[in-house]
Structure 1
Amino acid sequence: MDGWAAATGGGAGAAACAVAAQWCRACGCASASTRGRAGRAWERPGEASAVGTGPGSIADGDLPGYRTSDAARQAVGWQAPGADHDAVGVSASAVPPPLPAQAPAEAMAHSAIAGSERPSPQAQATRAEPAQPQSAQSQPPQPPAAPSAIARAASALKRWFTQGNVPVKVGMLVLLAGVASLLKYASDQGWMRMPIELRLAGISVLALAGLIFGWKQRAQRPGFALALQGGAIGGLLLTVFAAFKLYGLLDAGTALGISMVLIAGMCVLAVLQDSRTLAVLGVLAGFLAPIWLSTGSGNHVALFSYYAVLNAGIVAIAWTRPWRVLNLLGFAFTFGIGTVWGALQYSPAKFATTEPFLLLFFAMYVAIPVLHARRGDGSAGRLIDGSLLFGTPLVAFALQARLLEGDRLPLALCAVAVAALYAGLGSWLLRRASTRVLGQAHAMLAVGFATLAVPLALSARATASVFALEGVGLLWLGLGQQRRVSQVSGVALQVFAAVGVAFGVDAWRYDAVAVANATCMSTVLLALAGWASAWFLRDAGHRRRALLAYLWGLG
């Protein structure tokens, strides 16, 4: 073995030894290796003893990844050689199994040599990336120039005349030219002169045909179908307008009735096809129809009756579709045109024929937000329409003041009635979690109109007294619900009430009655309000504030 170890030098010897070490490890055994002198056993890792003394000797630490453990020695029964062995002999138990053939060793040697000659990754990347010309990097290739519009038109015309069924195309052109010439000749000869009734009837027939065709195309091409239906109904409305306004073929009642039928049909088509745009077009045409069909007679009953029918349709649509723009459009046109009419043509003699329509329109637009909230999915905050919720009572109450000509007591009664209506709606809506926010808004409106009714019905000092009592109520409500805004509002109302009473007292005039007079009763109510506030504050644990409220009542 010493001769073999000396003979294997260089890379091939090292590779052969590595193969032998790996083979021994795979077999699970520990074998004795070459020894430089007789009886020299393998040393433990770290001792780095030399195997031989010659130039080709290999140290134990030079065999990469190979160490013989004690457990492996015990597993195969390896025994250290004794002192009585021969110097060049080897123990029988330490004889390793035969080494593998030389071919694997040579293959490993060649692979080691090839690995040493393998180029670095940088060199491989350099070789893999061929050098690109400098001109290609600095000047990217330019796309081909697009043909001009004239060239494209000429090419398309050439393809149309040279590709496909050329005789049919040429024949169609000749036919169109012939039909145009025939129509011109017929017009010159007077053959096309028909009564206006027939011409309007022809337009109506074409519009109806377009409407039917658009309805049949609603599934295949919904956008085209809706546009065609809207255009057809618009054409029919214009035909009715021309027959009434321009040619006098229809009277006002008939024209308005036909327009109502067409508008109702458009709204039905919009709901069936879930088209908000078609519904908006129908409602817009409905509100504009009385304007372009007006004769100037000033019949407000017919106008408001027509608007009542139209608003009933809007309420019916609101029951099934939450289209906010439709509701706002109806609200704006109804109260806008009503305001213009009231400012220009209203007189007290028309109160009996105007008040019912105002109440009807008010009820309709109060109901629409409630309908939307009842149909909602629980997101009540999103379903509240503030424009209708707060705009309807304010605009309607302003119009009511115009109808009553500033009469304070009837207007105060109207405010009380509105407050009662909103209080009832608020208590009903607060029972459901999905409409609780809307119910709170109705409760706020009820409080506001009840507050507004006081100065309309009473004098300044009486109004201040009522405001003081209302401040006590707000303070009690805020303490019970832990709302600072309500508490501050209640205290502020009492302060403003005291200021109002102070400015309303005439220092140079004395009342004839000692106690039962307006000044004394107002101050007594202010004192009672302060003491009641002190009582509520003490029960809530605010003793310092209660003391201030008690002193306020005494003052």
Structure 2
Amino acid sequence: MEIIVIIVVFLLLYIPCQMVKNAKIFDQIDELKARIDDLEAQLNIVKNADFAPHSIAENAREKYGEVVSSPMESEISSLVHSEPSNKSQNETPPTSQSAVKISGVSEPVSNPVKEEIREDSPWVKSEVKISEVSKPTLNHAERQVIHEEKTEDILPKEEKSNPILAWLLKGNPIVKVGAVILFLGLSFLLRLASEYISFSIENRYASVAVIGVISTVLGWRLRYRRYDYALILQGLGIGILYLTSLSALKFHQLLPASVVFSTQVLLVITMVGLALLQNSRLLAQVALLGGLASPVLVSDGSGNYLVLFCYLALLNTGVAFVAWFKAWRSLNLISFVGSTALILGWGWKYYTPELYLICQLFLVYYIVLYTFIVCRFAILQTQSQEGFSAESDDNATLKQLWLTWLSGMRRVGSLDGSLLFGSALTAFGMQYSLVETFPQSLMYSAFAFALFYTVCGVVMTKRSALGVVAQGMYLLGLVFFTLGLGNIFNETLNRFFLLGIEGTLLYVFGVKQKMPFVRLNGVALSLTALLCQLFYAPFDAVISSALLLQGLVIPLMWAHHRKLHSALWETRGVMGITGLLLYGVVWYFAQLYAHGYLSYQSVVIFIVVLALLGAFWQWRKSNLLLTFWVSMSFLFPFFIHLFGGQMENSPRLFESDFAQFVVLLAFRFDWLFKISIGEFYQWLDTLPLWLNGVLAISAFIVGWLVSNPKTSVLRIHNLGGWANLIYSGITLWFLLDDYLDLYSSVRGAVNILIIFGVGILLTPWLRWKQLAQTQVAFLPIFACYSLLLFLEGINRHLLEYFFILLIATILHIATMPNWKTTLKAKLQKVWHVGGLNFFILAWSVYFVEWVDSMDYTLSKTWFETSKVVVPLIVDFALLKLRPTLQKWGMEKVYLKQGVILSIIFLFIAFLVGLGESGDPSPWRYIPVLNPLEFCSLGILVLLWLWHKSVSQEKIKTEFFLIIGAAGWLLLNVMLMRLWYFYGDIPWNLDAMLRSFGLQASLSILWTLCAITLMVKGNRLAYRKSWLIGAGLISLVVVKLFTVELSNSGGIARIVSFIVVGGLLLAVGYFAPLPAKNQNEK
């Protein structure tokens, strides 16, 4: 056993050293090639440049120091201004013979572009002399990064993709999944072999460790040919060694805990070294995860806090060391999340007040460390950026403010907000847990945090690279300072008052300093304070008055300083504050009346005066909020009269009945009808005569002031025509009602058809405008009456209702020509769309009732399927009539707006149908040739035809994906129905999941679809098809873990994992993710 341990340790020490040695040799060779490519790239730049040769020399000196001498400038000049000689196409450029003596080159810049060089150029005859390299050699990954940075000003910049999505899709994800599955398969194989094969436990572990070493070495050897593939193999190999040492401790106690812990730390260091050598963030992340998991995996449960804190301090210091050189945000976040989880887990189980000092010191280290990491990340992200300014125009719109704020995040996020705010809030939570037993601990802790972050913000403001971080520090300081102040005051209303004062001060400061961000925060805080007062805070005469008065400061400041040049967001925000103040004033006077501070007459006078002031302010303007308030203000005294006595027991607005009027009046007009007219008249009788006069005159003045002269009203000469027309219609209704011998429900529908039918026939002859206008009312009146018929039931009058619905459809079509002269363009669209959807609904209800009444031996499937028949027929008919609709100019109205509701209904019905068994009794189930699946396929065909004809180009791909996903679901359900009808499997999810035959069939179906998509995507270089196939492969992998994995100890599980893992590795190697096509969107 000791010999095996020595061998493993020797391999762990020897292999990294040998890899480093080989890396240096390969790096030196690549360095020479890179420098030759660099010279060729400079020659190409010189030949293609449009600027003087001396500028080239200056640029070269800026990049490489004093590399090009004055004689070299003349050579460059002669090269630029000379004519290229005619050369044979088979002749290669003599780049191997051309070189310049380089003495100070620190960073090579390679360029794959190679062009011919003149034979008579003096550079061709120069010798290759590379005397020195000032900096250590660079490996392939680092040289590629430097190449991208140096050629940033030469090559066109590509649009940056989502960094999170890019990280998930980078490299070869199929190989990653295959490696994990193959690893599990080998583990299952070893476990099975241990039960049937006599093989010592030490040899088993040694065999697995050898596999890990081989995988790591193989990955190192492939790092230049298949970079991503090599990194995965290295991570797999070290992961095998890591878990092997852990298993040797946990399951068989072959190694002591100290040796295992040291081995794991050594493996973590090795992986970090490999990550730095190859510039691989992935390896560093895996190494950090392993380092964070080691204390948990190797722990003996003693809860030794000193060892844990020291280990975490060293580990996080190493992360900070890496953060000094690398802007690897994900590594910082992993360190933060993992360390926080370990600390919280230990504290929840082992913390006692006696450990306060050591925990407090570690918490200080915790805050300072992650604040340093955030700052260093920002510096690294902004070193290559110049000319950045976070300032915005004083009158910037909300969109401009948002874009200005995002500009600070655009450089791969110069502010790591998740780490900054996450560490601050998490540390404050842990701080409160440490000191919660001390008096006023929350206040002092909040002030301490506010001081720390404010000081950090002041220090960081002096450096431009940390400008965005400084803003975050100031924001955290303000948050903690507000939290500390709020803890001083215990009453809820006092806290809202402080919040309102803070918002007012911020707005005033933003106005004086011309800072729109500050004004935006001030408006938001003031709105929050007012809303909290109205909906949450109890009534207090003094505090409520002060809060309303301080809320008035923002509208006054805006009117005096910002009214003429204010942005839309600021105007809307100030108007919102004004509206809340007006409603708050009404609520405030209602409370004064309820508590006996003011008489009822005084309350009415105050409201009237406020209404007059608001109306004069609103005169000839279009502020809907203020207009609505002053228009409804004369109802406020009435409701105060009704509910004022109840408000004393419900001091909060949202608890009182008065809130139903003040807050929900704009949404609940039906609530007004609950109050009888008699109560309103009784209220008027209780008022004094002079008060009635004041209300009348004031209401008249307010109505005149808030009226809009642009609003059209009915002319007086049209009223007579309307009166006679309405009278004639009512008379005809009663005449038909007495004459026709029909059922009452049917008779009402016939009356409507006859009245409007006569009007439609007479309109072209009489040319009566009001008569033509009444035809517009046919659709809503018939729709409302049909709704009553639907509720009553039409199954007893199917024949009568068929003719009623048929005639109504004809009349509806006949009224359409009158809409052009009686309705505006927007209302015409509403009537077209509404009529189409109503008659689809009406005919659908009729058809469902007809199917239900035909034969009671039909299964439920027939009844459910009948609901989609009419929408399918109508939508297909409209698509067929598309040329006619184009001729009438109605294509957009009907095909893009009219059918959208039926399309949504059909798609929902399709999704609902996926959960049905589809029993076609009395027919026998045949795939596709049954009502449910036939209609489902019809819905998919309709969706495809509809989107092909009307969808915009930018959404066609997404819609195709939706249709493809729906078709894939339908294939799965059809397969499940086959097993249900012919495999005797009950139609429920549990039974389906327990059927290994069905699961195997689904896996085969998914795999066939996935392989087809992935091979197609790789052959056609179409990434989306490949990614969809990868998604299906992911589902197959999930099934392996949820279904096959449950078959514990079975050969099928082992074969499934090994075969699937091997296939994924093979597919990832021979058919990897294709390169991104620029034309692919």
Report the TM-score, using the length of structure 1 for normalisation. Answer: 0.52
Structure 1 position 429, deviation (Å): 3.9
Cross-structure match for 2:458: 427
Structure 1 position 339, deviation (Å): 2.8
**Tell me, what secondary structure is at the counterpart of 1:375?**
helix
Q: Deviations over 1:148-205 (max 9, x none)?
A: xxxxxxxxxxxxxxxxxxxxxxxxxxxxxxxxxxxxxxx98xxx86x83x77567656
Aligned residue identity for 1:481: M
Equivalent residues of 1:478, 1:486 under 8 A apart: no
Distance of aligned partners of 1:538 and 1:223 in 2 relative to their CA distance in 1, 3 Å threshold:
closer
Equivalent residues of 2:316, 2:335 under 8 A apart: yes
Aligned residue identity for 1:409: Q
Q: Distance in 2 between matches of 1:289 and 1:296?
A: 13
Cross-structure match for 2:358: 353
Question: Aligned match of 1:237 in 235, 238, 242?
Answer: 242
Equivalent residues of 1:241, 1:293 under 8 A apart: yes
Aligned residue identity for 1:226: L
Equivalent residues of 2:432, 2:441 under 8 A apart: no
Q: Distance in 1 between matches of 2:522 and 2:228?
A: 57
Question: Aligned match of 1:481 in 503, 507, 515?
Answer: 515
Structure 1 position 275, deviation (Å): 1.6
Q: Distance in 2 between matches of 1:431 and 1:524?
A: 43
Structure 1 position 241, deviation (Å): 1.4
Q: Distance in 2 between matches of 1:337 and 1:490?
A: 37
Equivalent residues of 1:214, 1:229 under 8 A apart: yes
2:277 aligned with 1:272: yes
Q: How many residues align?
A: 349
Structure 1 position 271, deviation (Å): 2.0
Question: Aligned match of 2:408 in 380, 390, 406?
Answer: 380
Distance of aligned partners of 1:474 and 1:223 in 2 relative to their CA distance in 1, 3 Å threshold:
closer
Q: Distance in 2 between matches of 1:425 and 1:375?
A: 18
Cross-structure match for 1:444: 475
Cross-structure match for 1:336: 341
Aligned-residue Cα RMSD (Å) equals 4.5
**Tell me, what secondary structure is at the counterpart of 1:381?**
coil
1:71-220 mapped onto 2 (5 Å cutoff)? 196=202, 204=209, 207-208=212-213, 211-212=216-217, 214-220=219-225
Structure 1 position 481, deviation (Å): 2.1
Distance of aligned partners of 1:251 and 1:462 in 2 relative to their CA distance in 1, 3 Å threshold:
farther
Report the TM-score, using the length of structure 2 for normalisation. Answer: 0.28
Cross-structure match for 1:513: none
Structure 1 position 210, deviation (Å): 5.1
Q: Distance in 1 between matches of 2:454 and 2:237?
A: 47
Larger-Rg structure: 1
Aligned residue identity for 2:245: V
Distance of aligned partners of 1:232 and 1:487 in 2 relative to their CA distance in 1, 3 Å threshold:
closer
Question: Aligned match of 2:313 in 308, 311, 318?
Answer: 308
Aligned residue identity for 2:468: V
**Tell me, what secondary structure is at the counterpart of 2:440?**
helix
Q: Deviations over 1:398-426 (max 9, x none)?
A: 22222223646222222122222222333
Structure 1 position 474, deviation (Å): 0.8
Q: Deviations over 1:298-320 (max 9, x none)?
A: 22332333233332233333333
**Tell me, what secondary structure is at the counterpart of 2:327?**
coil
Cross-structure match for 1:73: none
Q: Distance in 2 between matches of 1:292 and 1:416?
A: 39
Structure 1 position 374, deviation (Å): 0.9
Distance of aligned partners of 1:541 and 1:280 in 2 relative to their CA distance in 1, 3 Å threshold:
closer
2:428 aligned with 1:397: yes
**Tell me, what secondary structure is at the counterpart of 2:409?**
helix
Q: Distance in 2 between matches of 1:370 and 1:264?
A: 25
Q: Deviations over 1:353-389 (max 9, x none)?
A: 3333333333333333322211114363131333223
Q: Distance in 2 between matches of 1:319 and 1:326?
A: 12
Equivalent residues of 1:240, 1:259 under 8 A apart: yes
Equivalent residues of 2:460, 2:466 under 8 A apart: yes
Distance of aligned partners of 1:206 and 1:538 in 2 relative to their CA distance in 1, 3 Å threshold:
closer
Aligned residue identity for 1:475: Y
Q: Distance in 1 between matches of 2:242 and 2:345?
A: 25
Distance of aligned partners of 1:355 and 1:482 in 2 relative to their CA distance in 1, 3 Å threshold:
closer
Equivalent residues of 2:320, 2:369 under 8 A apart: yes
Q: Distance in 1 between matches of 2:373 and 2:478?
A: 21
Question: Aligned match of 2:484 in 429, 453, 464?
Answer: 453
Q: Distance in 2 between matches of 1:203 and 1:367?
A: 41
Structure 1 position 206, deviation (Å): 6.3
**Tell me, what secondary structure is at the counterpart of 1:319?**
helix
What runs of 5+ residues in structure 2 fail to find an aligned partner?
1-196, 386-406, 565-573, 579-583, 590-1081
Structure 1 position 431, deviation (Å): 4.3
Q: Distance in 1 between matches of 2:555 and 2:232?
A: 69
Distance of aligned partners of 1:380 and 1:264 in 2 relative to their CA distance in 1, 3 Å threshold:
farther
Q: Distance in 2 between matches of 1:352 and 1:421?
A: 19
Q: Deviations over 1:109-133 (max 9, x none)?
A: xxxxxxxxxxxxxxxxxxxxxxxxx
Distance of aligned partners of 1:431 and 1:493 in 2 relative to their CA distance in 1, 3 Å threshold:
farther
**Tell me, what secondary structure is at the counterpart of 1:219?**
coil
Question: Aligned match of 1:256 in 255, 261, 275?
Answer: 261
2:440 aligned with 1:409: yes
Equivalent residues of 2:499, 2:526 under 8 A apart: no
Aligned residue identity for 2:508: W
Aligned residue identity for 2:441: P
1:475-514 mapped onto 2 (5 Å cutoff)? 475-479=507-511, 480-482=514-516, 484-489=519-524, 491-492=526-527, 503=538
Q: Distance in 1 between matches of 2:515 and 2:349?
A: 49
**Tell me, what secondary structure is at the counterpart of 1:337?**
helix
**Tell me, what secondary structure is at the counterpart of 2:447?**
helix
Equivalent residues of 2:329, 2:377 under 8 A apart: no
Q: Distance in 1 between matches of 2:238 and 2:532?
A: 61
Structure 1 position 501, deviation (Å): 13
Cross-structure match for 1:39: none
Cross-structure match for 2:1042: none
Q: Distance in 2 between matches of 1:223 and 1:463?
A: 56
Distance of aligned partners of 1:217 and 1:489 in 2 relative to their CA distance in 1, 3 Å threshold:
closer
What runs of 5+ residues in structure 1 fail to find an aligned partner?
1-186, 508-518
Aligned residue identity for 1:415: A
Q: Distance in 2 between matches of 1:501 and 1:205?
A: 68
Cross-structure match for 1:65: none
Q: Distance in 1 between matches of 2:536 and 2:248?
A: 67
